[in-house]
Amino acid sequence: MLYENLHITNNGELMIADTSTLDLTKQYGTPLYVMDKQQIIKNIKMYKEAITTFDNAQILYASKACDFLAMFQLCKQENIGVDVVSIGELYTAIKANIPVEHIYYHGNSKTYQELEYAIQNKVGCIVIDAIEEIHMIQEIASQYNYIQKALLRITPNIDPHTFDEVKTGVLDCKFGFAIGTELIDTAIQEIQKSSNIDFVGFHCHIGSQIFEYDAYQKTMDIMLQFVKQMQETYQIHTKELNIGGGFGIPYTNEDSTICITTLFNQLASQLQQFCQTHSIEIPKILIEPGRSIVANSGITLYTINGVKQIPNARNYVNIDGGMTDNPRYALYKSKYTIVCANKMHQPHDSMYTIAGHCCESGDLIAKDVYLPQNLQRNDTLAVLTTGAYNYSMSNNYNRFTKPAVIWVDGNKHQIVVHKETLDDLLRNDVTIKEA
Ligand code: LLP
């Protein structure tokens, strides 16, 4: 099995931690997101240990990976900060009582009202992503007689080997200020004129699902050269250097892995050497892992509604979920490991394509995966590694309701997000008067 928190009972049923997946489906129905809380805590602990290699470092969980209230509460319990990218995530973080100084607010297109909400709530740091933002922050902060801490988001022009939709560090990209362009100088000059901005350093994030040590080392190198140049040109002493997230995790046995401890050891010695050589004070390092904190904690359970065998083509399995709860195949052709949770002892040796319930041919969860030969209606499928970017990307296309999220903890479990009801779908709809 791909993960150590998944087991098989003598009857061939899938367990997550010490909880039966089939018991959960009986109690809550499907589709159902199930996450192992202890696995999330374990992932956080791994990062906590790995960052001790830096003299001064902080973890910010990239909440876009999975952003319901309980997840923010867990971050508070584990005493880690969060990166938020919208007013909704910021609101949820505040509701979870995350200390505001541990909230970093991102976004390439923030509105005046959103910035005002963030500043009113004393958000720890705003990561500036556009020139206009500098002016808005200055205006709002001076109105509130407040000094707002900020970082500037830099695109270091690095092209990691990952899928195009999640590359964020290349020159031609909607995020940040590209290294080597005049826009950076304009931004710095504007910031230096802004007396209500406490400018502490730089942020970069090169992409997501990255396995190359090299890509991070190159990024660190480019960013350190940049820090040096900023010190020489603008007398900026970088107090914080945020190197983003993106650390890859395996979804199938063919995927690679990246050892965070090894990576951080390499980056820490690179940082130390550079700063020593160039007499630069070592900045505090921030990291923003999202996927790697939650992905392997989660599975999604579906019920099979039917199986269709098309001679000389494919065998389709129709399930009761789809791109509404997991749009990642439709968007990125993402691969998953999928098992039949009630037939774990049977050989998974027949090829199927898993079709979602939406009225759209592209709504698949996986193409050509191996499952037992005798799949039938009411069997339960478990899609593994769905803890990240599944719940948070779920939607109501075709007016399907979003599934519940259950957290298991050993043999106990609790609901952390209720299943949406049909009435929830109508909550904001207006009944117009009949003519
Ligand atoms: N920091 C910033 C500024 C980011 O934009 C992201 C992800 C992260 C941190 C966290 O990256 P992670 O550690 O999760 O790879 N929806 C896509 C992933 C989009 C990632 C966007 N930014 C997917 O389902 O694969």
Ligand 1: does its nearest atom lie under 6 Å from the Cβ of 394? no
- Nearest residue (by CA) to ligand 1, atom 11, is 246
By three-state DSSP, how is residue 241 classified?
strand
**Which of 258, 289, 320 is the C-terminal boundary of a domain?**
289
Ligand 1 atom nearest to 328, measured from its CA: 24
| 310 and 267 together in one domain | no
The whole-angstrom distance between residue 7's C-alpha and the CA centroid of its chain comes to 26
What is the predicted pLDDT for the residue at 1?
Answer: 54
Distance 173 CA to ligand 1 centre (A): 15
Task: Write the DSSP symbol of residue 432.
Answer: P
Ligand 1: does its nearest atom lie under 6 Å from the Cβ of 153? no
- Nearest residue (by CA) to ligand 1, atom 15, is 246
Find where tokens 């599934």 sit. Answer: 403
The one-digit pLDDT tens for each residue of the chain (435 residues) are: 557 899 999 999 999 999 999 999 999 999 999 999 999 999 999 999 999 999 999 999 999 999 999 999 999 999 999 999 999 999 999 999 999 999 999 999 999 999 999 999 999 999 999 999 999 999 999 999 999 999 999 999 888 877 777 767 677 889 999 999 999 999 999 999 999 999 999 999 999 999 999 999 999 999 999 999 999 999 999 999 999 999 999 999 999 999 999 999 999 999 999 999 999 999 999 999 999 999 999 999 999 999 999 999 899 999 999 999 999 999 999 999 999 999 999 999 999 999 999 999 999 999 999 999 999 999 999 999 999 999 999 999 999 999 999 999 999 999 999 999 999 999 999 999 987
- Nearest residue (by CA) to ligand 1, atom 19, is 166
DSSP codes joined into one string, 170-193 = SSSSSSSEETTSHHHHHHHHHHHH
| 322 and 277 together in one domain | no
Rounded Cα distance, 171 and 206, in Å: 11
DSSP strand pairing (81-84 vs 14-16): unpaired
**Which of 289, 308, 334 is the C-terminal boundary of a domain?**
289
Ligand 1: does its nearest atom lie under 6 Å from the Cβ of 137? no
Cβ neighbours of residue 134 closer than 8 Å, sequence gap 6 or more: 128, 187, 190, 191, 194, 197
| 391 and 264 together in one domain | no
Distance 145 CA to ligand 1 centre (A): 34
The whole-angstrom distance between residue 163's C-alpha and the CA centroid of its chain comes to 15
| 143 and 245 together in one domain | yes
Rounded Cα distance, 272 and 55, in Å: 9
**Which of 289, 324, 359 is the C-terminal boundary of a domain?**
289
What is the predicted pLDDT for the residue at 172?
Answer: 83
Rounded Cα distance, 278 and 264, in Å: 21
What is the predicted pLDDT for the residue at 144?
Answer: 98
Rounded Cα distance, 434 and 355, in Å: 39
Find where tokens 């965070």 sit. Answer: 260
Ligand 1 atom nearest to 208, measured from its CA: 15
Ligand 1: does its nearest atom lie under 6 Å from the Cβ of 63? no
Ligand 1 atom nearest to 163, measured from its CA: 25
- Whether 322 contacts 304, CB under 8 Å: no
Rounded Cα distance, 345 and 339, in Å: 10
AA identity, residue 234: Y
Rounded Cα distance, 110 and 348, in Å: 48
Ligand 1: does its nearest atom lie under 6 Å from the Cβ of 356? no
Does 359 qualify as catalytic in the annotation? yes
Domain span holding position 388: 6-36+295-425
- Whether 201 contacts 283, CB under 8 Å: yes
| 271 and 156 together in one domain | yes
Task: Write the DSSP symbol of residue 210.
Answer: B
Rounded Cα distance, 91 and 254, in Å: 39
- Nearest residue (by CA) to ligand 1, atom 9, is 245
| 172 and 280 together in one domain | yes
In a domain, 198, yes or no: yes
In a domain, 101, yes or no: no
Ligand 1: does its nearest atom lie under 6 Å from the Cβ of 168? yes
Rounded Cα distance, 317 and 323, in Å: 14
- Split into its structural domains, the chain has a count of 2
Ligand 1: does its nearest atom lie under 6 Å from the Cβ of 13? no
Distance 300 CA to ligand 1 centre (A): 20
Rounded Cα distance, 401 and 5, in Å: 28
What is the predicted pLDDT for the residue at 161?
Answer: 77
